């Protein structure tokens, strides 16, 4: 909640907002956007605290326009005070400077980032709300006011109008005989439709799932027909770019040392062991770990078998020389880390098909298993204390 504070005897108090007043829906929406990008289906998560319903608090607080204006004035004055305090120029004090200044003046050890003190523009803190919808004579401003969802329906009206325009144009062209069946290659890759929460935020209106689905269907229909630049722009307003995760294995480039021998370097990790391996193109199968021969560094056969596995898989057992450095972990995890590093380095010398085989064999995937913590009331991570009947 907003906590007013008087700072250094200044006459004007400005507010620091302890805890971002971000609505729960927006937070869930941001999270859902991430999930949408990863294309993973997850269960809907809601706050699990079951308490008695506080009806007054459930109703959305309405902030008047004057209140918001006053908050904005106070924020601007406070920004100038802060700039003076930090000894910087008030005119060129950006939001990043404010964040840095607040983090410096109010260091917080709290883990939850949104619980730390923040000072942001009131537009980002108070949720956007609707102003009064009608004039002095009582006549509403928007022609679809009496439907209840004026922004959404006017958007549908606009989109459908564009569709009708396009179809009329196509009919005219067809009548003249100039119609061409052009199949469009759309630049849809790398972008996704707006999710329902983002659309609700854009329209400042609640939508139902069916409304949202209907809208997306209409936009997709608009995309299937050939449309002009302004219709494309209209549709692109409702698409967001998404970073496409590359599925391809990153292949290290080959490097050449003084003698002209090609080699490739790569890193690997397993539990807490980190390894870096340099694989030379031509060699006789010697492996040096931290300057020591692998036979002496890994006395146990199992570890040496782990080191051999990538070469054995590719039938290149005596053909490469390897120099690696490793630190951390135990003997088995060091062996696993070196194995991963070597396999990744080998990708540069090998065909793409073989890279795919290695990937399927599991040689190129870092093992994510780490030690599970011990829990109280149990002897170990999973083992419980001996159960005594009496």
Partner 1 sequence: MRLILRESPWETTGCVGLARGVCAGPLRPRLLQSATPGRARPSGRTLASAATPAVREPEGSIDLNDRILNEPLKHSDFFNVKELFSVRSLFDARVHLGHKAGCRHRFMEPYIFGSRLDQDIIDLEQTAAHLRLALNFTAHVAYRKGIILFVGRNRQFSHLIETTARDCGEYAHTRYFKGGLLTNAPLLLGPKVRLPDLIIFLHTLNNVFEPHVAVRDAAKMQIPTVGVVDTNCNPCLITYPVPGNDDSPPSVHLFCRLFQTIINRAKQKRRHMEALYRLQGQEGPGARGGGPAHPPSLGAYPGDRSSPLPEESGSHACP
As measured in angstroms, the least distance from the Cβ of 132 to partner 1 is 8
As measured in angstroms, the least distance from the Cβ of 51 to partner 1 is 26
- Residue 244 · residue 189 · CB < 8 Å: yes
139 is a contact residue toward partner 1 (CB under 8 A): yes
136 is a contact residue toward partner 1 (CB under 8 A): yes
Is the Cβ of residue 136 or residue 372 nearer to partner 1 in the bound state?
A: 136
CA–CA dist 282, 318 (Å, integer) = 9
DSSP-derived pairing of the beta strands 321-327 and 287-289: parallel
- Residue 252 · residue 264 · CB < 8 Å: yes
- Residue 337 · residue 290 · CB < 8 Å: no
As measured in angstroms, the least distance from the Cβ of 210 to partner 1 is 10
164 is a contact residue toward partner 1 (CB under 8 A): yes
Candidate ranges 132-140, 302-310, 366-374, 382-390; the one touching partner 1 (CB under 8 A): 132-140
- Residue 122 · residue 75 · CB < 8 Å: yes
Candidate ranges 31-39, 40-48, 57-65, 128-136; the one touching partner 1 (CB under 8 A): 128-136
Three-class SS of residue 162? Answer: helix
As measured in angstroms, the least distance from the Cβ of 213 to partner 1 is 14
Candidate ranges 63-71, 160-168, 198-206, 304-312; the one touching partner 1 (CB under 8 A): 160-168
Closest CA to 173 of 135, 217, 122, 228: 228
β-bridge partners, 15 = 4
Residues 15-34 that bind partner 1 (CB under 8 A): none
- Total residues at interface with partner 1 (CB under 8 A): 20
64 is a contact residue toward partner 1 (CB under 8 A): no
| Half-sphere exposure (Cβ direction) of 247: Cα atoms closer than 13 Å | 3
Candidate ranges 25-33, 134-142, 232-240, 286-294; the one touching partner 1 (CB under 8 A): 134-142
As measured in angstroms, the least distance from the Cβ of 8 to partner 1 is 44
Candidate ranges 110-118, 155-163, 179-187, 304-312; the one touching partner 1 (CB under 8 A): 155-163
137 is a contact residue toward partner 1 (CB under 8 A): yes
Measure Cα distances from 245 to 84, 168, 190, 249, 295 in Å: 45, 40, 10, 11, 40
Three-class SS of residue 329? Answer: coil
Measure Cα distances from 232 to 53, 156, 212 in Å: 46, 16, 20
Residues interacting with partner 1, by CB under 8 A? 132-134, 136-140, 143-149, 153, 157, 160-161, 164
């Amino acid at each position: 909640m907003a906590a007013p504070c008087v700072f250094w005897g200044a006459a004007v108090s400005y507010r620091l907002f302890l805890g971002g007043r971000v609505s729960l829906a927006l937070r869930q929406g941001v999270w859902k956007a991430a999930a949408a990008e990863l294309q993973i289906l997850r269960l809907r998560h809601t706050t699990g605290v079951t308490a008695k319903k506080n009806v007054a608090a459930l109703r959305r607080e309405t902030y008047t326009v004057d209140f918001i204006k006053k908050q904005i004035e106070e924020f601007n004055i406070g920004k100038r005070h802060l700039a003076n305090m930090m000894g910087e120029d008030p005119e060129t004090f950006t939001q990043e400077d404010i964040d840095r200044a607040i983090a410096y003046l109010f260091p917080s050890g709290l883990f939850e980032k949104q619980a730390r003190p923040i000072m942001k523009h009131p537009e980002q803190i108070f949720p956007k709300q609707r102003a009064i919808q009608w004039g002095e004579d009582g006549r509403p401003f928007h022609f679809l006011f009496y439907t209840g969802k004026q922004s959404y329906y006017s958007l549908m009206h606009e989109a459908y109008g564009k569709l009708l325009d396009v179809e009329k144009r196509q009919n005219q062209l067809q009548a003249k005989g100039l119609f061409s069946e052009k199949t469009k290659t759309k630049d849809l890759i790398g972008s996704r439709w707006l999710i329902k929460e983002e659309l609700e935020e854009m329209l400042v209106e609640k939508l139902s799932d069916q409304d949202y689905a209907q809208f997306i269907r209409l936009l997709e229909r608009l995309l299937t027909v050939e449309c002009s630049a302004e219709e494309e722009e209209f549709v692109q307003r409702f698409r967001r770019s998404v970073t496409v995760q590359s599925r391809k294995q990153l292949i290290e480039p080959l490097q050449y040392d003084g003698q002209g021998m090609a080699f490739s370097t790569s890193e690997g990790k397993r539990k807490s062991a980190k390894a870096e391996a340099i694989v030379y193109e031509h060699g006789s199968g010697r492996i040096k770990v931290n300057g020591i021969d692998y036979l002496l560094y890994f006395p146990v056969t199992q570890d040496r078998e782990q080191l051999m596995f990538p070469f054995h898989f590719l039938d290149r057992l005596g053909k490469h020389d390897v120099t690696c450095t490793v630190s951390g972990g135990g003997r088995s995890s060091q062996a696993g880390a070196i194995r991963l590093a070597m396999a990744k380095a080998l990708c540069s010398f090998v065909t793409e098909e073989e890279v795919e085989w290695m990937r399927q064999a599991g040689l190129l995937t870092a093992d994510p298993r780490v030690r599970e913590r011990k829990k109280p009331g149990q002897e170990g991570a999973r083992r419980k204390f001996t159960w005594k009947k009496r």
